[in-house]
């Protein structure tokens, strides 16, 4: 990077590194970066988070299902990132009243930080 600005080549190289990661490692990298983009102003809090979006082509009720990607509870997993699987664990953040998804059964809501139990 020159003068703090990334070039297209820098961004392409970084994107290539991110794409090469397994899902649980990509989530962990983004867990370290995205909270830095949280803003609070005028009584509002805006956070940049990762979401999983699924489109259902159901004939009766088609539509999108959006779930926030919850960060694995690394303390519970002894510093590890949880199961080496895709985002197959689903749950609900009781505090935010939002659906969450994770690769781990024990995770934290990416918006409020509350513990979420997933199944």
Element (H, E) at 17: helix 8-19
Q: Which two tokens stand for residue 70?
A: 């919850």
| Residue span of the structural domain in which 53 resides | 8-117
Domain membership of residue 24 (yes or no) is yes
Domain membership of residue 44 (yes or no) is yes
Q: Are 69 and 49 in contact (CB under 8 A)?
A: yes
User: Taking the model in full, what pTM does it have?
Assistant: 0.89
Average pLDDT over residues 83-95: 95
Count of domains in the chain?
1
Domain membership of residue 73 (yes or no) is yes
pLDDT digits (tens, 9 = 90+) for 2-31: 456 789 999 999 999 999 999 999 999 999
Please give the Cα distance from 60 to 96 (Å, whole number). Answer: 29
In this prediction, residue 59 carries a pLDDT of 80
- The three-class DSSP label of residue 24 is helix
pLDDT digits (tens, 9 = 90+) for 59-87: 888 899 999 999 999 999 999 999 999 99
Domain membership of residue 2 (yes or no) is no
């Amino acid at each position: 990077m020159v003068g703090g600005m990334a070039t297209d080549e820098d961004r392409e190289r970084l994107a290539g590194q991110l794409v090469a990661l397994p899902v649980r490692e990509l989530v962990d990298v983004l867990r370290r970066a995205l909270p830095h983009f949280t803003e609070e102003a005028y009584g509002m809090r805006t956070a940049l988070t990762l979401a999983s979006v699924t489109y259902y082509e159901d004939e009766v009720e088609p539509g999108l299902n959006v779930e926030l990607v919850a960060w694995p509870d690394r303390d519970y997993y002894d510093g590890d990132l949880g199961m080496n699987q895709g985002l197959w664990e689903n749950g609900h953040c009781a505090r935010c009243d939002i659906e969450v998804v994770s690769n781990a059964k024990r995770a934290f809501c990416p918006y409020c930080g509350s513990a979420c139990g997933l199944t």
